[in-house]
Amino acid sequence: MKISVIGTGYVGLVTGACLADFGHNVICMDKNINKIEKLNLGEIPIFEPGLKEIIERNKYYKRISFTTKIENAIKESDIIYIAVGTPSKKDGSANLEHIIDVAYSIGNHMNSYKIIVNKSTVPVETGKKVEELIKKCLQKRNKKINFDVVSNPEFLREGKAVYDFTHPDRIVIGTENNHAKNTLKKVYNVLFLNNTPFIFCNRESSELIKYASNSFLAVKISFINEISLLAEKVGANIQDVSKAMGMDGRISSKFLHAGPGYGGSCFPKDTKAICDIALKKNIKLNIINAAIDANYNQKINSAEKIILEMENSKEKIITLLGLSFKPNTDDIREAPSLTIIRKLLKANFKIKAFCPQGMKAAKKIFANENNIQFYNDEYEAATNSYGIAIITEWHQFRAMNLEKIASVMNDKYFFDFRNIYSNDNNITSIFHYFGTGTVKKKLLKQNIK
């Protein structure tokens, strides 16, 4: 089957690469010349484990190619995936500008029957809108060409994108057209044969499933984050609380880890967008609105914890570890680290930062800021600091030599926002320890330089 994928962001590139790996011929299209040049040279513009190998393999077998020419991508394929960004507008609604551009291009260049598959996260009824735009273009061109617009949301997570795409919990296909349904079944034949559950529903349900799923997970995280605030005050340990809660099959342990707040390009954007979609239908989504507020507060609370606990520190120098919104990605969009950094800078802190992948993007954001410096590893970043905070749980921070870290620091404040070391019995012989939703533990024997 000949497939084109419009947009080579996280979703588009992973979709294109994995569909090629399923044996299809795939053209990945992006209007960003720089990105396409890189891809043609074998460079991958995003950090995503396993992706480079898949692209290399499929380039070798000539199953994947890259282009900036949307006209060719449309004409040369039977199925067109739309995987362009739908960022938030200032009012929280989803910006559909890129989707609309692609719909016009399809309408203007389409030469034969196509199935248009929308993978971007879009407000309910966008599929209908895309269909209308394409029809309008065809009418203008005086052409009578059949086509179908299907909704097929993607549930992959950044950092685990390849695994998630190839091992999905479910495939959702929103169409009432049998031909489109059967063709997509063939596209995902590898997964179908592996017994992946398929949900066939109408387009509106499919579009809503994506927003409802992301919002539910965001609510779940905000819920446990709020309980973590209470846990700290009453002397409970949030990890025990969430572990026991998660053992109840009705609740499940996934996405029940307290932390400094959720970030990324999806939860913050999609929670705002679903509230906007509902408002336009005169419905206020109270629970999701509350989760948005709770998440903002969680980021602020994390920064305030540092400010408050280090009030008596001789100097306000702190090391921040992990800037990306989660491990295994270079993405820092809406990352808790950004809110925490801004708040700390306002409180006159000097910041020494390290992140395995997130520094390139962070350096751009804080290019004019003298009070933040970036280092090559956690030990270098900790040198001469008075406090250290783990914001993102990269693997390498789970196995740090804490004695070594402490030995290069000037004071011993340790903020473990991801509770990596909360069960380490030795922690209080080295640090004043502050987790998220755990009782704070004072250093037993102070040994300050």
Q: What is the DSSP letter of 89?
A: P
CB 369 within 8 A of CB 352: no
| CA 95 to centroid of chain Cα atoms | 18
Helix (H, G, I), strand (E, B) or coil at 415: strand
| CA distance readout (Å), 320 to 42, 341, 354, 393 | 33, 9, 6, 12
Q: Which stretch binds ligand UGA (CB under 6 A): 60-68, 109-117, 188-196, 261-269?
A: 261-269
- Closer to ligand UGA by Cβ: residue 107 or 358: 358
Least distance to ligand UGA, CB of residue 326, Å: 4
CA distances to 40, 46, 241 from 31, in Å = 14, 16, 48
Separation in Å, CA 360 to CA 233, 277, 327, 344, 363: 38, 34, 15, 20, 5
* Token representation of residue 206: 């499919």
Which residue of this chain has its Cβ atom nearest to ligand UGA in the complex?
266
Q: What gap in Å lies between CA 174 and CA 197, rounded to an integer?
A: 14
Cβ proximity to ligand UGA: between 217 and 443 the closer is: 217
CA torsion, ordered 14, 15, 18, 24, to nearest 10 deg: -140
What's the min distance (Å) between Cβ of 397 and ligand UGA?
13
Cα–Cα distances (Å) from 45 to 55, 270, 326, 373, in that order, read 12, 24, 18, 25
Site string for ligand UGA, 196-215 (x = CB under 6 A): ------------------x-
Looking at the Cβ atoms of 274 and 406, the one nearer to ligand UGA is 274
The one among 110, 133, 171, 221 contacting ligand UGA by CB under 6 A: 221
Position among 264, 322, 358, 437 found at the interface with ligand UGA (CB under 6 A): 264
Pick from 25, 105, 121, 151: which binds ligand UGA (CB under 6 A)?
Answer: 121
Candidate segments 55-63, 257-265, 282-290, 404-412, binder of ligand UGA by CB under 6 A: 257-265
Site size toward ligand UGA, by CB under 6 A = 20
Least CB distance to ligand UGA at residue 11 (A): 6
Cβ atoms of 120 and 11 within 8 Å: the answer is yes
- Cβ 32 to ligand UGA shortest distance, Å: 19
Contacts to ligand UGA from residues 277-316, by CB under 6 A: none
Query: Given the complex with ligand UGA, which of 39 and 209 has the nearer CB atom?
Result: 209
Please report the beta strands in 88-216, taking only residues with DSSP state E, as ranges in sequence order.
114-118, 147-151, 171-174, 198-201
Q: Which is nearer to ligand UGA, 183 or 242 (CB)?
A: 242
CB of 242 to ligand UGA, least distance (A): 8
Binders of ligand UGA in range 318-347 (CB under 6 A): 325-326
The region of 40-48, 227-235, 252-260, 361-369 touching ligand UGA under the rule CB under 6 A is 252-260
Residue closest to 359 by CA, chosen among 342, 343, 376, 336? 376
Q: Closest separation between CB of residue 243 and ligand UGA, Å?
A: 12
Question: Cα separations (Å) of 446 from 251, 313, 426, 431, 436?
Answer: 42, 13, 14, 9, 23
- Cβ proximity to ligand UGA, 10 vs 349, nearer residue: 10
At a CB cut-off of 8 Å and minimum separation 6, what does 177 contact? Answer: 148, 150
Exactly one of 47, 262, 433, 434 binds ligand UGA (CB under 6 A); which one?
262
Q: How many helices (H) and strands (E) does the chain have?
A: 18, 14
Query: Between residues 267 and 386, which has the closer beta carbon with respect to ligand UGA?
Result: 267
104 forms part of the interface with ligand UGA (CB under 6 A): no
**Does residue 355 have an active-site annotation?**
no
- Longest CA span, the chain: 83
Q: Which is nearer to ligand UGA, 326 or 352 (CB)?
A: 326
Of residues 137, 266, 275, 355, which has the active-site annotation?
266
Q: Is 193 helix (H, G, I), strand (E, B) or coil?
A: helix
CB of 49 to ligand UGA, least distance (A): 13
Site string for ligand UGA, 144-163 (x = CB under 6 A): ----------xxxxx-----
Which residues, at least 6 apart from 233, have a Cβ–Cβ distance to it below 8 Å? none
Site residues (CB under 6 A) for ligand UGA? 121, 154-158, 214, 217, 221, 255-257, 259, 262-264, 266-267, 325-326
Which positions are catalytic? 266
